[in-house]
Amino acid sequence: MVDTQKTKQKSGNKGKEEISKIYVESGVRILNCRHKKKMTRDTLASAAGISSKFLYEIETGHTGYSVAVLEKIAEALGVECDYILFGQVNRPHYDQDLVSALAAFDEEGLQKVARVLNIIAEFH
């Protein structure tokens, strides 16, 4: 007999690991863009309306961030949100629709959406 509680925990941990990976990778891209633009952390943080400490936590992948923060950072860096999240820029421009739809979710809801999207991506 399968222990459903352990299965749920493993599944939940996998989703958290995938989200953590996205945060780490996007943090590195933010840091690299900031360096390319020769911006200090304080300058970018101020332009994005967040604290330097929070930006440091984002750049090092130690914390997540909201869609609103992502938009502000992307705008301050002059890059697309999809570049920060995926490392690519030539995707169809559904960004605004996705951002608007995702803005309604709390952190737990975003994790569920990420899991569903990952499942869909596996079959694509």
Asked whether residue 42 is assigned to any structural domain, the reply reads yes
Asked whether residue 2 is assigned to any structural domain, the reply reads no
Residue corresponding to tokens 């999207």: 117
Asked whether residue 92 is assigned to any structural domain, the reply reads yes
Q: For the chain, what is the domain count?
A: 1
Please give the model's pTM, rounded to 2 decimal places: 0.61
Asked whether residue 6 is assigned to any structural domain, the reply reads no
CB 59 within 8 A of CB 73: no
Question: Which CATH number characterizes residue 107's domain?
Answer: 1.10.260.40
Residue range(s) defining the domain that contains residue 92: 15-123
Single-letter code of the amino acid located at 45: A
Give the pLDDT confidence of 17-43 residue by residue, as tens digits.
887 888 999 999 999 999 999 999 999
Give the pLDDT confidence of 37-71 residue by residue, as tens digits.
999 999 999 999 999 999 999 999 999 999 999 99
